[in-house]
Amino acid sequence: MAKKLLILAGDGIGPEVMAQVRRIIDWMAKKRQISFDVSEGLVGGCSYDAHGVPLTDETMAEALAADAVLLGAVGGQKWDDLPFELKPERGLLRLRKDMDLFANLRPAFVFDALAEASTLKTDLVRGLDIMIVRELTGGVYFGQPRGIETLPNGERRGVNTQVYTTSEIVRVARVAFELARKRGRKMHSVEKANVMESGLLWREEVQKLRDAEYADVELQHMYADNCAMQLVRNPKQFDVIVTDNLFGDLLSDCAAMLTGSLGMLPSASLGAADAQGRRRALYEPVHGSAPDIAGKDMANPLATILSFAMMLRYSFDMMAEADLVEKAVKNVLDGGLRTADIMQPGKARVSTTVMGEAIVRELDKLAG
């Protein structure tokens, strides 16, 4: 049975970068006899323009029925003045919420050819390969009580609540341990157990799970402030990092920038596995819709292509094909092609389209 793949290209550069993934999907059908049952839908501003909402119930239902969803990006100035509930980003938030995507996987991987583009010294980042697993549906961004109130003395008070239950901690830690098993069997669990009870619970539950089920994985606990420092001091000490929503938000951006460009960064968000072992999953580049370069055939499509490779690996168990796509990206970069965002002296600057074509040509060579 062909796997059901829903493509939501979105706004701005979304459709431009997604067109390059379509080339790879076509290549897989033609050259590897792998075909997906692909459908396309609207999300974000383009959905608002067509239907008056950033995500329709029909598209939401299609996403729930799909084996995986691949998203481009949403947003743009045109929709900035819409009421909060109709903003493009609400479409994305609804997808994440209704699919119950609690584990956000953000790899920070440095391609050798781009090691010099990092703001850190080249030898600190060459060969870097970190996977940050961020809890995505709990913690202080969702905890109750929350709000802004006016006190009797006229002062205003803002409240947010950091809250985690054992099951929320265990399910995301389990995803991280499983990933650690497929990588270097080394994991850091990150919180602030020294000053937060929710952090202490996090630490205890992760340790308990490790002792009960994942004794083969080396586990270290680290305070979040120290982790931020270690990420820029000696990032290669890390393999898998698991952390909560707030700390994950900050640490994954920090780790991402070690790799040079937003245009290179993929991500995956996973939900619970059903009885057949199928996990709801959404794959998307980390970058936004880049309105400043939209429509100019300038965007870097590699973050979206690498998100597609993550989908092959984590949703479809197509390890050989995922390796092939990642190898093609590596070889094209080694060969000196660069989109504007990753341009370096002496390299060849190419458009979105030419980069996509080069990846397909490389796939041909590799599979030849």
Catalytic residues: 141, 192, 225, 249, 253
Closer of 180 and 298 to ligand NAD (Cβ): 298
With beta carbons less than 8 A apart as the criterion, state whether 330 and 29 touch: no
Kindly identify the residues of this chain, within the stretch 339-368, that bind ligand NAD according to CB under 6 A: 341
- End-to-end CA separation in angstroms for the chain: 26
Q: Pattern of binders to ligand NAD over 84-123, x per CB under 6 A?
A: -----x--x-------------------------------
CB of 365 to ligand NAD, least distance (A): 25
In whole angstroms, give the CA distance from residue 328 to residue 21: 13
Which whole-number Å values give the CA distances from 49 to 17, 82, 293, 294, 314, in the listed order?
A: 21, 12, 21, 17, 33
**Contact range with ligand NAD by CB under 6 A, out of 21-29, 117-125, 214-222, 286-294:** 286-294
In whole angstroms, give the CA distance from residue 23 to residue 6: 16
Structure tokens at 59: 């598209």
**Contact range with ligand NAD by CB under 6 A, out of 24-32, 155-163, 274-282, 298-306:** 298-306
**Contact range with ligand NAD by CB under 6 A, out of 23-31, 108-116, 209-217, 292-300:** 292-300
3-state class (DSSP) for residue 118:
coil
Q: Pattern of binders to ligand NAD over 6-45, x per CB under 6 A?
A: -------x--------------------------------
Among 15, 41, 54, 76, binds ligand NAD (CB under 6 A): 76
CB of 245 to ligand NAD, least distance (A): 16
The whole-angstrom distance between residue 309's C-alpha and the CA centroid of its chain comes to: 12
75 binds ligand NAD (CB under 6 A): yes
Residue 57 makes CB contacts below 8 A (sequence gap 6+) with: none
Closer of 69 and 169 to ligand NAD (Cβ): 69
Phi and psi torsions of 359, nearest 5°: -65, -40
289 binds ligand NAD (CB under 6 A): yes
In whole angstroms, give the CA distance from residue 87 to residue 230: 37
297 binds ligand NAD (CB under 6 A): no
74 binds ligand NAD (CB under 6 A): yes
Give the helix ranges, DSSP H, for 183-214: 197-213
With beta carbons less than 8 A apart as the criterion, state whether 318 and 312 touch: yes
Q: Pattern of binders to ligand NAD over 204-243, x per CB under 6 A?
A: ----------------------------------------
Which of 186, 221, 228 lies closest to 204, judged by CA?
Answer: 221
Closer of 83 and 145 to ligand NAD (Cβ): 83
3-state class (DSSP) for residue 84:
helix
Which whole-number Å values give the CA distances from 168 to 94, 193, 245, in the listed order?
A: 19, 17, 11
**Contact range with ligand NAD by CB under 6 A, out of 128-136, 217-225, 239-247, 291-299:** 291-299
Closer of 189 and 300 to ligand NAD (Cβ): 300
- Structure letter (DSSP) for residue 69: E
In whole angstroms, give the CA distance from residue 351 to residue 58: 35
263 binds ligand NAD (CB under 6 A): yes
With beta carbons less than 8 A apart as the criterion, state whether 253 and 245 touch: no
198 binds ligand NAD (CB under 6 A): no
CB of 74 to ligand NAD, least distance (A): 4
With beta carbons less than 8 A apart as the criterion, state whether 209 and 170 touch: yes
Among 262, 324, 325, 358, binds ligand NAD (CB under 6 A): 262
Which of 201, 253, 244, 198 lies closest to 224, judged by CA?
Answer: 244
List residues near ligand NAD by CB under 6 A: 13, 73-76, 89, 92, 262-263, 284, 287-293, 299-300, 303, 341
